[in-house]
């Protein structure tokens, strides 16, 4: 599959990728390298993984990172409660120590977490490691090891080697600076807020029944809103919510009713000071320009 074909296929699944992103995804698939996607919140980084799993018709395994994420949540954990019960039952049955040990540290008592799960599938799944910059440096280092060897060592069971190599997508939005080592291991694509034409295509792909005039106005409005000095710029998800809100309210023209427009800004502006700064006058001016 060429990267153009991939781009078209993604578009059919409802994801409009620009050339850079399509090429990066194509290379990640062709070279079997992890892909690091960076960009502001709400530009559709996570969505890439979802679309890719639909395209390849495989499972999407997601690992949401957070501060303090540890091996027990990311890789594997023993089912302690079952182990305890089993040990007690065994002692009553008179089972010997060695056989109990072999039994309670077997696959049956192992709880798979996303990383382990992703390397033990029959078909290569899409492994999404979301917001990697939220996890701490130690986890990042561990992840590097897994991403290079695709094997996990469990002391009680031995080394588990990957049956298939997952397609790995990492996302980051700059909470913390990632290490050079991780960056070097991955292909990289920066996902920016889309161009007008791209965003319009996204809107039309997602809201099929939207009218051309309103769609154009919405995109014009949101794009000029991003140029304002905001604390949190509206992403694509917000834009889609905004469009859905307007359509739900039966609005056909943005400039039609200032009060309704102001109320529906709740879908775009998510902090108090942003709401305060975009007054009715500012919103009307932007809407007027977009019309």
Partner 1 sequence: MSRVTKFAARDPGPTARLVGFMAHLRDNGMRLGVGEAELGLEALTHVEAIDPKDVRHALRAVCTGCVEDVERFDDLFDAFWMNGGRVATKTIPTQTSASDHVHSSRNAAGADMSMGAGAPSTPDGDGEEPAEADGEGKLVASLAQATMKKDLRDLVRPEEIAEAQIVAQRLGAALRDRRSRRRKQSRKGDRIHFRKVIRQSLATGGEPLHLAKMRRPERPLKIVTLCDVSGSMTTYAQVFLAFVAGMMRTDPTADAYLFHTRLVRIAEALRDKDALRALGRLSVLADGFGGGSKIGVSLTQFAQTYARRFVDGRTVVLILSDGYDTNDPELLGAALQKLKKRGCKIIWLNPLKGWDGYEPVARGMAAALPHLDLFNPANTLADLAALEPELTRL
Q: Which stretch binds partner 1 (CB under 8 A): 120-128, 158-166, 169-177, 215-223?
A: 169-177
Residues of the chain by 3-state class (helix, strand, coil), percent to 5: 55, 15, 35
Taking CB under 8 A as the rule, does residue 195 contact partner 1? no
Q: State how far the Cα of 106 lies from the Cα of 216, in Å rounded to an integer.
A: 59
Of 16, 17, 24, 218, the one binding partner 1 (CB under 8 A) is 24
Of 5, 12, 20, 145, the one binding partner 1 (CB under 8 A) is 20
97 versus 288: smaller Cβ distance to partner 1? 97
176 versus 275: smaller Cβ distance to partner 1? 176
- DSSP assignment string, 150-162: -EEEETTTEEEE-
Taking CB under 8 A as the rule, does residue 12 contact partner 1? no
- Specify which residues 168 forms β-bridges with: 127
Taking CB under 8 A as the rule, does residue 142 contact partner 1? no
User: Of 261, 252, 287, 225, whose CA–CA distance to 42 is shortest?
Assistant: 225
CB of residue 23 to partner 1, shortest distance in Å: 4
CB of residue 40 to partner 1, shortest distance in Å: 10
CB of residue 119 to partner 1, shortest distance in Å: 22
What is each CA distance from 50 to 34, 137, 285, in whole angstroms?
A: 15, 26, 37
Of 5, 8, 12, 91, the one binding partner 1 (CB under 8 A) is 91
Joined tokens for residue 47:
């969505």
Taking CB under 8 A as the rule, does residue 9 contact partner 1? no
Q: State how far the Cα of 244 lies from the Cα of 255, in Å rounded to an integer.
A: 17
Neighbours of 23 (CB within 10 A): 17
CB of residue 205 to partner 1, shortest distance in Å: 22
Of 41, 154, 187, 215, the one binding partner 1 (CB under 8 A) is 187
Q: State how far the Cα of 54 lies from the Cα of 43, in Å rounded to an integer.
A: 19
Contact 135, 65 (CB under 8 A): yes
Taking CB under 8 A as the rule, does residue 84 contact partner 1? yes
Q: What is the dihedral sign for C-alpha 73, 74, 78, 79?
A: positive
Of residues 92-111, those binding partner 1 (CB under 8 A): 97, 100-101, 104
Joined tokens for residue 5:
């074909």
Contact 219, 200 (CB under 8 A): yes
Taking CB under 8 A as the rule, does residue 144 contact partner 1? no
Q: What is the dihedral sign for C-alpha 174, 180, 185, 188?
A: positive
CB of residue 14 to partner 1, shortest distance in Å: 22
Taking CB under 8 A as the rule, does residue 145 contact partner 1? no
Of 17, 34, 38, 58, the one binding partner 1 (CB under 8 A) is 38
Q: State how far the Cα of 77 lies from the Cα of 267, in Å rounded to an integer.
A: 40
Residues at the contact surface with partner 1, assessed by CB under 8 A: 2-3, 19-20, 22-24, 26-28, 30-31, 33, 38, 66-70, 78, 80, 83-84, 87-88, 90-91, 97, 100-101, 104, 136, 174-177, 180, 183-184, 187-190
């Amino acid at each position: 599959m060429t990267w153009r074909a991939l781009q078209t296929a993604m578009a059919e699944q409802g994801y409009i990728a620009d050339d850079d992103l399509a090429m990066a995804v194509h290379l990640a698939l062709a070279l079997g390298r992890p892909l690091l996607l960076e960009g502001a919140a709400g530009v559709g980084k996570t969505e890439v993984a979802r679309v890719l799993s639909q395209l390849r018709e495989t499972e999407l395994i997601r690992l949401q990172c957070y501060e303090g994420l540890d091996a027990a949540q990311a890789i594997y954990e023993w089912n302690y409660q079952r182990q305890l019960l089993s040990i007690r039952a065994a002692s009553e049955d008179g089972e010997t120590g060695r056989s109990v040990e072999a039994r309670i540290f077997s696959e049956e008592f192992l709880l798979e977490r996303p990383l382990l799960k992703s390397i033990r599938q029959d078909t290569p799944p899409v492994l999404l490691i979301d917001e990697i910059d939220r996890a701490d440096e130690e986890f990042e280092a561990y992840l590097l090891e897994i991403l290079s060897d695709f094997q996990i060592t469990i002391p009680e069971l031995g080394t588990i080697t990957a049956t298939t190599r997952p397609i790995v997508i990492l996302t980051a939005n700059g909470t913390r600076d990632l290490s050079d080592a991780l960056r070097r291991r991955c292909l990289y694509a920066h996902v920016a807020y889309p161009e007008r034409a791209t965003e319009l295509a996204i809107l039309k792909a997602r809201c099929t029944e939207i009218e051309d005039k309103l769609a154009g106005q919405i995109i014009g409005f949101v794009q000029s809103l991003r140029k304002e000095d905001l604390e949190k710029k509206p992403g694509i998800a917000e834009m889609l919510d905004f469009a859905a809100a307007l359509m739900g309210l039966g609005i056909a023209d943005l400039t039609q009713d200032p009060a309704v427009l102001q109320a529906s800004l709740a879908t775009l502006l998510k902090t108090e000071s942003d709401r305060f700064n975009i007054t009715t006058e500012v919103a009307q001016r932007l809407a007027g320009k977009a019309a």
